[in-house]
Amino acid sequence: MTRCDHCIARQLSAMKSMTKEELKLVSDCKTTRFFKKGDVIFEEGEALNGVFCVRDGVAKLTKLNANGKDQTVKLLGRGDMIGQRSVISNERTNLSAVALNDIELCYVPRDQIVNPLQKNQEFSFDVLQNFAKDLKNSEDDLVNMAQKSVKQRIAETLLYVHRTFGVDANGYLSVVLSREDYASIVGTATESTIRILSQFKKDGFISTEGKLIKIENLEKLRQVE
Amino acid sequence: MTRCDHCIARQLSAMKSMTKEELKLVSDCKTTRFFKKGDVIFEEGEALNGVFCVRDGVAKLTKLNANGKDQTVKLLGRGDMIGQRSVISNERTNLSAVALNDIELCYVPRDQIVNPLQKNQEFSFDVLQNFAKDLKNSEDDLVNMAQKSVKQRIAETLLYVHRTFGVDANGYLSVVLSREDYASIVGTATESTIRILSQFKKDGFISTEGKLIKIENLEKLRQVE
DNA sequence: TTTAAAATATGATAATTGTCATGTTATGTG
DNA sequence: CACATAACATGACAATTATCATATTTTAAA
């Protein structure tokens, strides 16, 4: 079994401030899980008795609204933790997690997270700082959602995916999302997303190859109004 | 000077898990500040070297967007803490705080919050749980903003204000917000807000008396589509 | 490889929301 | 009280976005 202290995810997550002993416990208890593209990792309303840590791959957190539509709340990549909140507040999760491509997760039981949280000040302060950052991002997202046009939100999502997950050898966004995925992130109809992406193509801001998207002009995308 | 251990705000905030000694320090260091309706408590971009705790009154947290419009991110009432995040992440605040009516705040210097956070496990876990709750709310807000109509968002805001801050002796919402305030919360034009509130009046969902709003039919407001 | 299903694309049209103009009503200040 | 200012209200119109219909293309499975 892979040891946690070598895991690349550790470099990126709050777990970097766990002690060697704590990390050893995590290492011993954790189980590694693989999910295929499209697999549901957990469903809204489930009780999570542990935390997932993304070792490799990308997942989305979604929330079902009253009309039966999914809203994507967050994308998660390497080093991100899933389910910390539910574990800390001891509530069922209010989000579903779905794999966007093949993904490898470590599942760490609740106790191995909560115990260090209650004993290791550095770790708990780190998690607190992560939460503070998440909250700030969340506020920014809210303002964007409230005040920007669909076109702007799509442009920003493309830039976000580019910035966060990078590009493949040919310059295409390495995370491949369907038009419906993009629609679910910006909170609009799939048709609107398709139309706007087509427009971006005509404008030369992006190019596509099947489902792959390449950003051709970062600056123009930033200036979309 | 009023002692913190008698403060009603303490019953509601994470400070309830501070030790007597910690609370004594807070009590000795804190300063009480009064703001009048409309006063700016602090501005986006300021460095906050402490935390505000709402003793009485209501404030809003707003964020300026690129077009110069304010988005209201959160309303704060008795027992709510303002500025914890900036203090914890050691960053300048990304929000402004404005008094919505006459308000009394306690200002607690940074150290009196951060030191207990680094020493008192119970307190820091409590703050963590508060953050977890805030994050969940924030996600819910995002989904609402993304997927509900302006009309629904206004109806929900009325219900929220009713639920959170209650009504006066005559049944009017005890927090009095301008149409512009409501617009800034739901992220729409002031005129749209005025129109929709007029419609709600015609429909008999609410009644008004000057700026005062009374909810006449909770159930109908909940069912708005 | 064939074929069904899913994803993408686009037109037509409706619904929602924003913007600008303009008038009325409250509110507060000298 | 008078007056200036801000808040509220409403019409007319424009812009954005959603919805429905219908092709076309891509993908995946038999």
DSSP string, A5-67: GG-HHHHHSGGGGS-HHHHHHHHHH-EEEEE-TT-EEE-TTPPP-EEEEEEES-EEEEEE-TT
Give yes or no for a contact between B49 and B109, defined as CB atoms under 8 angstroms apart.
yes
Which residues of chain B lie closer than 8 angstroms to A67, CB-CB? 147
Output the distance from B36 CA to D1 C1' rounded to whole Å.
27
Stretches where chain B sits below pLDDT 70 are 1-2, 12
pLDDT in tens, chain A (225 residues): 567 887 877 776 778 889 999 999 998 999 999 999 999 999 999 999 999 999 999 999 999 887 778 999 999 999 899 999 999 999 999 999 999 989 999 999 999 999 999 889 889 998 999 999 999 999 999 999 999 999 999 999 999 999 999 999 999 999 999 999 999 999 999 999 999 999 999 999 999 988 899 999 999 999 998
Which residues of chain B lie closer than 8 angstroms to A186, CB-CB? 146
| CA–CA min distance B131, chain A (Å) | 7
Q: Helix, strand, coil: what percent of chain A each, to 5?
A: 50, 25, 30
Q: How large is the angle between the packed helices A20-29 and A110-119, nearest 10 degrees?
A: 170
| CA–CA min distance A110, chain B (Å) | 15
Output the distance from A37 CA to D30 C1' rounded to whole Å.
21
Where does residue B154 rank: exposed (0-12), middle (13-18), buried (19+ CB within 10 A)?
buried
Closest listed residue to residue A88, CA positions, set A116, A54, A60: A116
The answer to whether B198 CB is within 7 Å of strand C is no
Which residues lie across from B96 on neighbouring strands? B62
What whole-number distance in Å separates Cα of residue A57 and Cα of residue A38? 12
Which residues of chain B lie closer than 8 angstroms to A148, CB-CB? 65
Which residues of chain B lie closer than 8 angstroms to A140, CB-CB? 63, 94
Closest listed residue to residue A144, CA positions, set B146, B97, B91: B146
Question: In this complex, is the C-beta atom of B151 within 8 Å of any C-beta atom belonging to chain A?
Answer: no
Q: Is the Cβ pair A94, B146 closer than 8 Å? A: no
Closest-CA residue of chain B to A186 = B146
Q: Give pTM, 2 decimals.
A: 0.92
What whole-number distance in Å separates Cα of residue B74 and Cα of residue B62? 7
Closest listed residue to residue B178, CA positions, set B203, B157, B163: B157
Residue A214 CB coordination number (10 Å): 15
Output the distance from A49 CA to C9 C1' rounded to whole Å.
44
Which residues of chain B lie closer than 8 angstroms to A118, CB-CB? 121, 125
With H, G, I as helix, E, B as strand and everything else as coil, classify residue A207.
Answer: strand
B173-221: per-residue pLDDT in tens? 999 999 999 999 999 999 999 999 999 999 999 999 888 999 999 999 9
State the residue for tokens 């700016």: B40
What whole-number distance in Å separates Cα of residue A195 and Cα of residue A207? 14
Q: Is the Cβ pair B138, A135 closer than 8 Å? A: yes
* The predicted structure's pLDDT at residue B1: 58
With H, G, I as helix, E, B as strand and everything else as coil, classify residue B5.
Answer: helix
Question: In this complex, is the C-beta atom of B127 within 8 Å of any C-beta atom belonging to chain A?
Answer: yes
What whole-number distance in Å separates Cα of residue A10 and Cα of residue A93? 23
* The predicted structure's pLDDT at residue A1: 58
Output the distance from A144 CA to D10 C1' rounded to whole Å.
29
Q: What is the DSSP string of B45-107?
A: TPPP-EEEEEEES-EEEEEE-TTS-EEEEEEE-TT-EESHHHHHHT---SSEEEESSSEEEEE
Q: H/E element holding A213?
A: strand A212-215
The answer to whether A173 CB is within 7 Å of strand C is no
Nucleotides on strand C lying under 7 Å from protein C-beta: 7-12, 16-21, 26-27
What whole-number distance in Å separates Cα of residue A211 and Cα of residue A173? 10
Nucleotides on strand D lying under 7 Å from protein C-beta: 7-12, 16-21, 26-27
